[in-house]
Amino acid sequence: MFPALSLAVLLLSATSSAIADHQSCTCSSLLPASLRVNCSSLNLMELPHLPTDTSELHVQNNRITSVSPGLFDRLVGLKKASLSGNPFHCDCRIQYLRNWLLQNKAIVSKEPICASPSSVAQKAVSELSDEYFSSCAPTSCTNGTYNILIGMMLCCVIGLLLWCFRLAKTTTFTLYIDERHSGFEIDSLRSLKPKHRRRLHTDYTNFTMDLEKPPLNMELLPQVLDMLHKKHNIKIKAT
């Protein structure tokens, strides 16, 4: 127990640069693995590094204006805290303390009060509304970078889709018909739907079995080719 107490005293003494009159916080053991840390009335301008086993914290009547984000998160065993009597400056930097107070009202013995700016002077820190902090910048720049990257990726995907759509509209399909197949019946070119594919296959089989059968309606072939080219952008060339 005494080594732990000595370590706590050393950690708190390391913050003597923040104490005007070179006094340090005092620690006393309450229960096994718990400490009572008294830093009251020491003219502190900021909170020192606190041991993780702190169960009581007294920092009232100092010159503390804000609390560093995350400072109290390490004190999982904190049961009592006194923060009053400090001239807290309630700007964006006080948002962490305000959120912590809202979640730990039972721990704080006396509500800390805003000393400045004048618009919120003498108002309890925990009473500051969410709208009051609406103009504060995010605490991390990673969110902005992430949003920029996502936006760029979405723009690339949309551009790629538009390019593929435009390419599909302007693509020309060319079918080459060998000279020995020039006798296809016109009926085989009427539709390319799946239900007509069997018929097309049957016509081709009949044609290969009877090469001497004369072609039918070959005078309509130019009209069919022209219609395929105009409506479906399909070109058929003889080889």
Domain boundaries, the chain: 2-133, 172-238
User: Per 3-state DSSP, what percentage of the chain is helix, strand, and coil (rounded to 5)?
Assistant: 45, 15, 40
Q: What percent of the chain has pLDDT over 70?
A: 62
DSSP 71-125: TTTT-TT--EEE--S--EE-SGGGHHHHHHHHH-TTTBSS--BEEESGGGTT-BG
Cα separation, 206 vs 109, whole angstroms: 99
Reply yes or no on whether the pLDDT at 166 is more than 50. yes
DSSP 3-state assignment of 216? coil
Asked if omega into 117 is within 30° of 0 (cis), the reply is: yes
2-133: CATH superfamily: Ribonuclease Inhibitor (3.80.10.10)
8 A C-beta contact, residue 112 and residue 101: yes
8 A C-beta contact, residue 91 and residue 74: no
Cα separation, 181 vs 186, whole angstroms: 12
> What pTM did the predictor assign?
0.50
97-148 pLDDT tens trace: 999 999 999 999 899 999 999 999 999 999 999 999 998 866 554 556 777 8
Instruction: Return the beta strands (E) in 168-218 as ranges.
Output: 173-177
pLDDT computed for residue 225 by the predictor: 74
Q: Give the mean pLDDT of 74-95.
A: 94
Q: How many CA atoms lie within 13 A of 85 on its CB side?
A: 14
Reply yes or no on whether the pLDDT at 46 is more than 50. yes
Name every residue whose Cβ is closer than 8 Å to that of residue 19 and which is 6 or more positions away in sequence.
Answer: 42, 43, 44
Direct distance between the N- and C-terminal alpha carbons of the chain, in angstroms, rounded to an integer: 99
